[in-house]
Amino acid sequence: MSSAVNHFTHGPITPILAYVMSCMGSMLGLRLTVQARASRGASRMRWLLGAAVSIGGTGIWVMHFIAMMGFQVEGTPIRFDVPLTAASAAVAIVVVGAGLFLVSYGRGRAIALLGGGLLTGLGVASMHYLGMYAMNMSAHVSYDRATVIASVVIAVVAATAALWFTVRVTRPIWILGAALIMGVAVSGMHYTGMYALRVTVDPEAAVVPGADALDFLVPLMTVISLITLTMLLMVILSPSEQEMSEDAELTRRLEMRRRNRQQLTETSLAEAAPLATGRRPQRGPVLAAPVPDGSMAGAPGAFTPGAQRTPYPGQPYSGQPYPDGQAAPGQNAPVIPFPGQTGTQPQQGGQSPAPQQQQSGKRSRSRRR
């Protein structure tokens, strides 16, 4: 005979607590996906794995079995198959992780989002019905097909929306709103699937194998909740996406400054190397000023580019001209007289005196004699 099914044995506390846990797991998972987007390599994979545990473990599986603790069938006790229950938790974490990796590494493209949503939604529905199959009771269980299809559609839509949130939301207020919506979707999917359940109690009571909910589910949910709280502390202590961007920009500027200093040091060393070895540094060609009428060409003291210079007394003559118009090392630059000026100017540095001074010196010596 059919029996009355009560989904709220303990009143509203079980659905409210289940919804709160779903929102907490979803919010933490979304926060972890934000950290994953700002990370690369192995660090990104670790953040995504943490998000899978948060959303799949706490947001979906813990919510499911907290709600199941309020489920009761009149006329028969309910026990849980331990391996199947543990497998349902693993299924929830694995399918959510697969969807997160697919969307994250697919760069949020529509194909990746739809594929990840379909995969995750079907996986969540499988977890739900696997958890219900893990219930042992002295009764015959059946399901309404239309309601089951509706619950699967809700699961796929909710999973697609959740994955879209993981690649779009960044601000805390948006994460909170998305988590509240995800909590509604997960809870709605759960109670829709539970509504599809039809129970017929056996006429003769039998021994029901399995573990009691308080003996098995409470410790398991406690462990998962502690893991979730640990990841929450990791998120709180880790830098935000904005802080990571600012650190990356500061590192880039410091690296550019270091490279500029290194280039300046190398340039200075390259310019100082010829001077240290006594070699003349390379210079570009120096163009001589044009002479309009050629009146200065060949003037005394005038310098013709490319001409050979006479060295100072006591200096060897190399015989090589300086085509750039510069004086030889240790010599003064040539003096170019102004137009109308004759003779050469007195030169410094112990050079020979002018011709007038030489003649006056000869006359004074002749008078003394």
pTM reported for the whole predicted model: 0.63
Q: Residue 151: what pLDDT?
A: 92
Residue 344: inside a domain:
no
Whether residue 101 is contained in a domain is answered as yes
Domain count, the chain: 1
Distance of CA 122 to the CA centre of its chain: 31
Looking at the domain assignment, is residue 109 inside a domain?
A: yes
Neighbours of 107 (CB within 10 A): 8
Residues 6+ apart with CB under 8 A from 22: 58, 59, 60, 62, 63, 182, 183, 186, 187
pLDDT of residue 351: 47
Q: What is the pLDDT of residue 312?
A: 47
Tell me the residue type at 224.
Answer: I
Residue 65, class by beta-carbon neighbours within 10 Å (0-12 exposed, 13-18 middle, 19+ buried)?
Answer: buried
| Boundaries of domain holding 122 | 12-240
In DSSP notation, 66-118 reads: HHHTT-EETTS--EE-HHHHHHHHHHHHHHHHHHHHHHHHTTT-HHHHHHHHH
Gap between the Cα atoms of 61 and 56, Å rounded:
6
Within a domain: 212: yes
Confidence of residue 91 (pLDDT cuts 50, 70, 90): very high
Banded pLDDT at 277 (limits 50, 70, 90): low
pLDDT digits (tens, 9 = 90+) for 166-223: 888 878 888 888 889 899 999 999 999 888 888 888 887 778 888 887 777 778 777 8
Residue 257 lies in a domain: no
Q: Is residue 87 part of a domain?
A: yes
Domain-located, residue 207? yes
DSSP 93-107: HHHHHHHHHHHHHTT
Summarize pLDDT for 332-344 with one digit per residue, the tens: 445 455 455 554 4
| pLDDT value, residue 317 | 47
- The verdict on residue 56 lying in a domain is yes
HSE value, Cβ hemisphere, 13 Å, CA-based, for 125: 22
